[in-house]
Amino acid sequence: MKKALLGVFAVSALTVAMSSAFAQEGAPAMTAAEKEQGSKIYFERCAGCHGVLRKGATGKNLEPAWKKTDKEGKVTEGGTLKLGTARLEKIIAYGTDGGMVNYDDILTKEEINVMARYIQNTPDVPPEFSLKDMKDSWKLVVPVKDRPTKQMNKINLANVFATTLRDTGELALIDGDTKEIWSILKTGYAVHISRMSASGRYVYTVGRDGLVTMIDLWYEKPTTVASIRLGSDARSVEVSKFKGYEDKYLVGGGYWPPQYSIMDGGTLEPLKIVSTRGATVDGEYHPEPRVASIVASHIKPEWVVNVKETGMIKLVDYSDIANLKEITINSAKFLHDGGWDYTKRYFMVAANASNKVAAVDTKTGKLAALVDTKKIPHPGRGANFIHPKFGPVWATGHLGDAVITLISTPTDDKKYAKYKEYNWKVVEELKTNGAGNLFVKTHPKSTHLWADMPMNPERDNAEVNYVYDIKDLSKPPVKIDVAKDSGLPVTKALRRAVHQEFNKDGTEVWISLWGGKTDQSAIVVYDDKTLKLKKVITDPKMITPTGKFNVYNTMHDVF
C-alpha cells in the first residue's frame, strides 16, 4: 500500500487506500469495483470539505454513525446510516442551502447512488507520509547551476496568469499582455493554488494529490525544474519572503497526513516535517487537523499556518529550522482561507463552519479579534478597500448566506484615525442574490468589488458575477453574465463563473468559466472601468479552468 502511494498520483493512491473500507454493520452492500469508484469520486469531489476521515469541517460529518456531547452534557447522535440511501441521493443531487453544490449535473444517477451507499460504509485510514517518503518522491529535474542566468524570453512575467486546469492535472501559463496561452505544463491533480517566488521567477503549484511542482519562467518555454510529494492530499504552499530569507525555504501544508513540510526553496529538497495533530480549541483530540492556508509575514521571518480542525493559528519562525519555534494562537475551529488586511499586519482567516473570522496580529503574535459573521465565510484572500463611511475594510463572501461581510480593520495611518471606533466590527453586509460565493476581489486602483456565486445551484447565479460600486455601495450591483458573454453554447451542466483575478495594472478582471470535462471552457476578460467584455480566451486545451494567479499580484499580496 505504502509503495503504491509513493509511485502514483494520490487520486489513485487514495482510491487504493480507501477502497478497502470494510462494510459498516447495516450499510448497503457494495462490490469492490463500486468501492473503488466511490473512493475516487469522494477524493476528487468531497474530501476537501468533509475530510478524508469524513469527520467534517466546512462540510458536514459524513461518518456512518457519530455521537457528540455539548457543553451542557446533551448527547446528539447522527450519521449517514440514519439518513439512508434515498435521502443521501437527494442531498448529493440537489445540494443544500448551507453551501453544498448540486451534483446532478456533474455525476450520473448511477454515480450518485454509488456515493450515497459509499458514505454509509466506514472509511479506512490512509497511509502516513514521512520525511523519507518525501525524499523518495523528490525529483530535482534541473539543478540550480544548470538553469538560465537571465530571462531567455520576452514575456512580461509580472503579468503572467498561472491558471489551474483542474481535471487534467495541468497549469496553463497565459500571457496577460497578449492573452495568448504561453504554455501548458503537467502538475498535480486539481492544483489548489499557485504561489510565486519573491523574485517572480518561479511558480510553485500544489495539487490535491499532494504533488508540488516548481516551474522556472526564465526559460524560452516555462520548464518544471523540481517536484516533490507532500503526502496524498495538500492545499497550500508559500515561500519565505522576509528580507534576507527571500525564497530560501518553501513550506507546504498537508491535508493528509495532517502536517506541514519545509523544503529548500531552490530545489525542493525536503528538510523538515511538523505534525499538526493534537487538541482542538475545545480541548478535544482530533486525528485529522489539516493545514489550510499558509502566508508569509511581511514584518518577520515567519509563516502564518492555519490548522483547520483544531482552530489553531501557528506563527512558524523559519530563521532557524533546526530549532524551530512556533507561537500557537487559539482562534476558532475549521480555519480555512484568508488574506492580509490593508496594512499587511493582520491576517484575516475564515473559521468557516464556526461562522467567524479570526484576525491575528503578526506584529505582537497574538489574536487581535474573533468576529462573528453569517454562515460559512469563504473569502479566498478577501478584498481590501476604503469604505466611504467606515474607512479601511476587509471583505468576505459566504458559502452559506446571501451577504458579503465588511469588517473594519485598524491602521496607524492618522488620516483613518476617526474610524477607530469601528475596528473589528462588521460595519455592513452587502446583499447578494443567494449563497454560494467563493471569492470577492478588488484592486487598489479599482472602484469595484467583484463577487462570484459558483456554488449556487441556480444557473442565473452560478454563471454570473455581481459588481459593486465601492464609492456608492447603496447602488444595486451590476450583473455580469459571464456564460452569455463567453459566446459558448448553453449546456445541460452549469459553467460556473469563478475566481476573479485582476491583471497587474488593475485595469482588467479575468474570470474562469468552469465547465465539465467534455464541455468547452474559457477565461473571460473584462475592462474593470467600463465592465465591458474585452476578450474571451478559449481553446480545446482549456479544460476545467478554475484558479488564476497573476504573478505580480500574488508576489505582493495585492487584493
Residue of 489, 511, 490 whose CA lies nearest to 499: 511
- Which is catalytic among the residues 18, 30, 50, 192? 50
- CB–CB of 426/371 below 8 Å? yes
* The three cell numbers locating residue 328: 500557537
Q: Quick one: CA dihedral 39, 41, 44, 45, positive or negative?
A: negative
- Which is catalytic among the residues 18, 100, 134, 348? 100
- Which is catalytic among the residues 286, 336, 387, 398? 336
| CA of residue 97 relative to chain centroid, distance | 21
Element (H, E) at 553: helix 551-555
Beta strands in 446-517 (DSSP E): 448-452, 464-469, 478-481, 496-502, 508-514
Radius of gyration of the chain measured on its C-alpha atoms: 22
Q: Rounded to whole angstroms, how far apart are CA atoms 223 and 320?
A: 31
Q: Rounded to whole angstroms, how far apart are CA atoms 449 and 427?
A: 16
Place of cell 450518485: 112
Specify burial of residue 536 (Cβ count, 10 A radius: 0-12, 13-18, 19+): middle
192 is catalytic: no
443 is catalytic: no
Q: Quick one: CA dihedral 108, 114, 119, 124, positive or negative?
A: negative
448 is catalytic: no
DSSP helix/strand/coil, 82? helix
Residues 6+ apart with CB under 8 A from 27: 64, 81, 117, 120, 121, 122
Place of cell 506563527: 315
DSSP helix/strand/coil, 237? strand
Place of cell 459571464: 482
Q: Rounded to whole angstroms, how far apart are CA atoms 458 and 436?
A: 10
Q: What letter represents residue 231's amino acid?
A: G
Q: Which residues pair with 313 in a beta bridge?
A: 306, 329
Q: What letter represents residue 518's amino acid?
A: T
- CB–CB of 225/214 below 8 Å? yes
Q: Rounded to whole angstroms, how far apart are CA atoms 440 and 90?
A: 30
Phi-psi region of 365 (alpha: psi -120 to 50; beta: other; left: phi over 0): left
Q: Rounded to whole angstroms, how far apart are CA atoms 89 and 117?
A: 9
378 is catalytic: yes
Residue of 435, 430, 388, 422 whose CA lies nearest to 406: 430
- Which is catalytic among the residues 18, 30, 49, 196? 49
Q: Quick one: CA dihedral 110, 111, 116, 118, positive or negative?
A: positive
- Which is catalytic among the residues 286, 378, 398, 443? 378
46 is catalytic: yes
Residues 6+ apart with CB under 8 A from 245: 301, 318, 319
Catalytic residue numbers, as ranges = 46, 49-50, 100, 336, 378
